[in-house]
Structure 1
Amino acid sequence: MSRECYWYVTMIRLSEVFDSQLKAYFVQNRKQHTTQKFRTLMKQFAKNLEQSISNRGKYLFELEFLYRKLLNTMATTDASAKIADKKPITDYIYEMYKSSLRSGQICIYLKYASMLVCIHDNDRAVTLLKDIESMITSDMVQISMLPEKKCVKPVIDRAQSLAPHEIAKILAAKIIMNVEFTTLEMNCAPSHLMYEMYKILTEDDDRVRCNKISKEIAVIDAKPFLYYLQYLAHEETEGKYSSKIKLFNYIESLDIRPVGLFDTAYNLKGHIFELENEASKTWQAYVTSATLVPRNNAAYWHMCRLFSQYVADKSPYERTK
């Protein structure tokens, strides 16, 4: 195995460890317990991590990483419950969010920003999203892009000069994790993303799905989600237009190939057209998404939804003829 290939494989494995632990915990435990019990389990998990971190032993960085991500999940889960009950977000939840931001992870910042958008705290959301955008540098790579070796060469080149115990730190700093929402967090995600939780439509889809697709979890690449949140958060036309163009340019930069979570990004494009009442462009966006990624794609739900709305709108007219 060449040295470059070795570092590439190491990067894949470490990033999967960072990205999969909490997802696996949710999948394994969510259906076995009530929502309240699951929250209790997460809090116990957090206490166990705190104890391990306080011992200052091996894998301190990795433990801190998981702890901050868990805090973010707990904050988003609790905030989602508050939104469902039409209650304000408590100071305790805000403190968990702020503590989780110490990880420096783009995906964690974006979940906080998404919650702000969902409670219509748009001024704070716009400011936070601007800060997040400034955190993303040209040498960062989205985790779903790792199979594209040409995208990760700068990260590999830098990692090769580091000691083994520093590798995890550089990978965490340069790999942008996906943004994920479980069903317990769904009220902190734009409602359009709910369909991503149910993109596995048939048993055949389930058999061929890749690891990045999970049941009852909405997963999206960080960059298109950032631009989409900016579009939702901005109230003035100029801000919306700028955000829309950034998302559209991002999609075009993929050379119209299904790289990363391409279908989800294209579905966000469709939703923007939908919000702007561009019916023809909306339909074309969802059709293109389904054409490029024919399996495990929420675009089918959106097309069914649009067709249902069209029939419903036509029915009163037809009855009066």
Structure 2
Amino acid sequence: MFQAPEYTRAVSLRLSEVLADIGVDERIVLKRRRVYLLRETMYTITGKLQDVSGSYYTLGSQSEGSTTLGLDSDSDQLYSLNFINLIQDWADWEPGMMNKLMIQDETVSPGYCLLQPLRDDAPLPFNDVRNDDVWKDRTGRILEKNTLISSVVAEVYEGGVRHGPAYTKEGKPGFKDTDTVHALPCKSWPQQARQWLDQQGQWPSDDMKRYCSNTGCFVVGVGGKGSENEELEWRISTSLAERCLMFNLNITQLRCYVLMKMILKNFIKPSFENTISSYMCKTVLFHCIANTHSNIWREENLLVCLSLCLFVLNNCLLNENCPHFIIPGNNLMKGHISHESKPYIIEILQYIINSEGKALQGILCDDLGARLQLKLSNLVTSIKSDIISGKLVRDTATFIDNTILMNCLTLIRNSSYEEAIQTLLKYSLKLVSISKNCQGLDKKACGLLATRFCTTLGFVLASLNICWHNVIRAESLTWISLGLNTDVSSGKLKLASMLYCIGDTQRAETVLRDIEGSYDLNIVEPICKCHDFIGQRLRKGFCATADNHNEEAIQYTTAFCVRFLLCEINCVPHELRYEMFRSTEEDLAFRGRYDEWMDLAVIDSLPYLYFLQYKTYNNLGRHDDKQRALSNLMRTIDREPNLGHRETALNLLGQCMEQDDRAVDALHCYLLSLNQRGRNNAAKLHICRLLSSMANAN
């Protein structure tokens, strides 16, 4: 059995403790994976609701759990175009499908293939050049250029930046970029990787290889660097198989990978940005695990394991060859290492290997170096798990919010009652159908989405009821009740708003009192994904609660913003209805690509709670409670850092001031609102209306 020297063992144990403190432990890794697999499922399910033939996969560090707050990894997505039947065997050709044959012969680089389009009426290749996306080679074969996807995707990702096969939606300052790769799926395991399945060894196990072989592969639109067929080659991706391997690493192996990425970030990337990649580090780790005994990969040997990986990486660099783990003929380093940078990177790696862990004390990422020094001095360091858990729950909530907004509400924002009801009913019933045939996270995703669609359907029906009879039918209330508890407040606030609009002030006040009792200001976080804004630090109470729960914490720790469609207008007080008409003809030209939410009436939960209380207490003649609600509204606008619609809250406050005969204060509110959002703001309407009223009064 392998035994590390005592000094190395002591440093390894302290280093393992530091990594656990910053979130690289079994519990947080599993939390990360759950969040991103749930996101992946919701992406795909919402596509099915709209009859889109595709699947989303969230890949890379976030979904693997191989990241930290300091590494701040990007979010990687792969979108599989499932309407294409990619085959390696003629027997897999399907009539009526868009069939393409993968060609893997001596003319292509290892790890790549050519694509030959096939006829849909017979298992035969096309023999004519139909457009600029195909090419006839010397043998007369019609082959598809790898620009085929990018020419289509570039239109979808207008303003995005291409990096290899990925399109990046570049986030605003303070937000992560999102890399999306569009890929063609092949159900069968790639021919070039079949030898890997037959290799003998203790890792991966036969069961893992069997699972990997059933994941098939993808091809993505990028050719081998320097290949004479670079425009015609398509890279073969075994990303789902690699995710399986990552999910089967033990915590020491995962920590080793995280340390390698920190070394890249701290020592290599500042001067040699596009040389060694984290994917190369992952590949080196796989090779090391496959060629060593499993007993080595333990916490007390972490430093030795890291040195082993760095030594193998160093050898790869010396030979300028990092063989792909599953398709060894594919050299990942080809074209990445310049003769100028090579000796400097080798020197850095050898320095770290020979330092016996001392070099790690210079790592700034996540304060790892400083934390390690404190641990070696037997001093206590802080633990970040609650902050990470809070961010994961917040990210899940914002993803749900964005999914509902972008895949439902904005699509029906200008629909008639009939169209909106049909769409929402179709979505709800489809989710029920999908849920019956799945389990685990798939079923959980269906539930998280279905309840919200059902409640929206209920309020559309209720608005129609009010329009016709000013009475809410039982059917509407049944649909509404299905999603009232998705978060602390948003559904119940819509219910209170509806009750207020039909004059049932007493019941509205009861609902509002219940919301206020549940809305713990030390725990509940506002959630809004209508637009990107940089929120402030999460509440300690929110993070502490999130640390002990998964996505179920959303129900009692988050407050989504309240959104009303145009066909819900009869559930909206007249003061908020102005928001549906915020844009002048001139303003429309200043809207962004994702500003469809501006056609809705949207307000953060907490200010809307206090506004509705102000209105109901006014109707009930409870003056002191009315003034308390007004004070709470003013304090929230002034002090709550995470409001997504502060300008709307100021518009509501201004109208409260008007109703209290405080015209000057009202005007001040509207001007403050315009400072928050200069365009597409109903404050302009209010200023014009108020000034006209003041002029007529004189």
**TM-score computed with the length of structure 2 as normaliser:** 0.41
Q: Does 1:87 align with 2:473?
A: no
> Quick one: structure 1 residues 177 and 36, their matched pair in 2 at CA, closer, same or farther if it must change by over 3 Å?
same
Other-structure match for 2:69: 3
**Contact 1:75–1:97 (Cα < 8 Å) also in 2:** yes
Other-structure match for 1:14: 396
Other-structure match for 2:535: 148
Question: What's the secondary structure of 1:219's corresponding residue?
Answer: strand
How many residue pairs align between the two structures?
305
**Contact 1:179–1:221 (Cα < 8 Å) also in 2:** yes
Deviation sequence 1:4-30 (CA, Å, 0-9, x none): 757476455422321123322232245
Counterparts of 1:304 and 1:10 in 2: how far apart (Å)? 44
Other-structure match for 2:590: 205
More helix by share: 1
**Contact 1:270–1:285 (Cα < 8 Å) also in 2:** yes
Counterparts of 2:485 and 2:397 in 1: how far apart (Å)? 19
Other-structure match for 1:133: 516
Deviation sequence 1:233-275 (CA, Å, 0-9, x none): 1122122112111111212324xx8953111111111011111
> Quick one: structure 1 residues 285 and 45, their matched pair in 2 at CA, closer, same or farther if it must change by over 3 Å?
same
> Quick one: structure 1 residues 56 and 129, their matched pair in 2 at CA, closer, same or farther if it must change by over 3 Å?
farther
Q: Residues 88-237 of structure 1: matches in 2 within 5 Å?
A: 88-137=471-520, 138-144=522-528, 147-152=534-539, 154-156=541-543, 158-159=545-546, 161=547, 167-201=550-584, 202-207=587-592, 214-234=597-617, 235-236=620-621, 237=623
Q: Does 1:280 align with 2:667?
A: no
Select which of 278, 282, 296 maps to 2:680.
296
Question: What's the secondary structure of 2:538's corresponding residue?
Answer: helix
Q: 1:284, CA displacement in angstroms? A: 1.7
**Contact 1:15–1:172 (Cα < 8 Å) also in 2:** no
Q: 1:34, CA displacement in angstroms? A: 4.0
Select which of 23, 40, 45 maps to 2:405.
23
Other-structure match for 1:317: none
Counterparts of 1:120 and 1:67 in 2: how far apart (Å)? 30
Q: 1:91, CA displacement in angstroms? A: 1.5
Consecutive unaligned residues in structure 2, runs of 5 or more: 1-66, 74-387
Question: What's the secondary structure of 2:440's corresponding residue?
Answer: coil
Structure 1 segments (4+ residues) deviating >6 Å? none
Other-structure match for 1:243: 629
Q: 1:56, CA displacement in angstroms? A: 5.4
Deviation sequence 1:47-96 (CA, Å, 0-9, x none): 11222333451333332222221121111111111222243111221222
Give the alignment's Cα RMSD to 1 decimal. 2.8
More strand by share: 2
Other-structure match for 1:261: 645
**Contact 1:258–1:292 (Cα < 8 Å) also in 2:** no
Deviation sequence 1:114-138 (CA, Å, 0-9, x none): 1001111011011110001111122
Counterparts of 1:192 and 1:35 in 2: how far apart (Å)? 22
Q: Computing the radius of gyration over CA atoms, which structure comes out larger, 1 or 2?
A: 2
**TM-score computed with the length of structure 1 as normaliser:** 0.84
> Quick one: structure 1 residues 267 and 68, their matched pair in 2 at CA, closer, same or farther if it must change by over 3 Å?
same
Question: What's the secondary structure of 1:244's corresponding residue?
Answer: helix
**Contact 2:580–2:601 (Cα < 8 Å) also in 1:** yes
**Structure 1 counterpart of 2:671, which letter?**
V
Q: 1:172, CA displacement in angstroms? A: 4.6
Larger RCO (CA within 8 A; separation ≥ 6): 1
Q: Percent identity?
A: 24
Q: Does 1:53 align with 2:440?
A: no
